[in-house]
Structure 1
């Protein structure tokens, strides 16, 4: 069969497909979620130990972490890794984190 026998052509199909695409969402569509609180954590490193080792820790004890000085740290939002970064001094008494890498995840399929 040809396009003329079906009484349509490919240009018509493409035009309908373009019209059926959902318009992009704009920033104002997201305003409802802007005030939802989230927990942001900057993880310097992790350590595994037995309870007996944990109970022996006292003031001044050093817990060795799985990272080295200068390694990137993990930045989590609600316990989900979203970025990596470096520790920086904000002022004399405060630390901050500079994001150096944003973690991209694939879209979740239903």
Structure 2
């Protein structure tokens, strides 16, 4: 039986082409039988939609003030510059991360996985 503390190498999710190859190489030990898992085993979840949100911060604003906002208006949030942002998957907190710029586009890099995510 495999040691539970042993770390398992995860595929680089930034490059989706690596996922099937990594999944084909994953092995699971069950008693004396050794089952090999493949990307084919994951086909059932490939089309499952998920909602991913990166929350930069929050604020409270009255509707009357919201209607007065215009282009260039600054809205103060409850977080400071450089503070970690929250990453939610299907309204469940799963990670914290940082905002990054890649080729003139905004992105998020995960810096911490949250165990027992909060809803």
TM-score by length of structure 1 reads 0.65
Unaligned runs of 5+ in 2: 1-30
Aligned equivalents of 1:46, 1:85: Cα separation in 2: 16
- Structure with greater helix share of residues: 1
Give the alignment of 1:47-62 within 5 angstroms: 47-62=59-74
Matching residue of 1:97: 108
Deviations 1:23-62 (A, max 9, x none): x9x5654431122121211111111111111112112111
Correspondence for 2:96 among 72, 84, 95: 84
Which is bigger in relative contact order (C-alpha 8 A, separation at least 6)?
1
Moved over 2 A (4+): 26-31
TM-score by length of structure 2 reads 0.61
CA RMSD of aligned residues (A): 2.5
Correspondence for 2:47 among 22, 27, 35: 35
Unaligned runs of 5+ in 1: 1-18
Q: Whose Rg is larger?
A: 1
Aligned equivalents of 1:37, 1:90: Cα separation in 2: 25
Mean Cα deviation higher: 95-104 or 29-38: 29-38
How many residues of Structure 1 are paired with residues of Structure 2 in the alignment?
Answer: 85
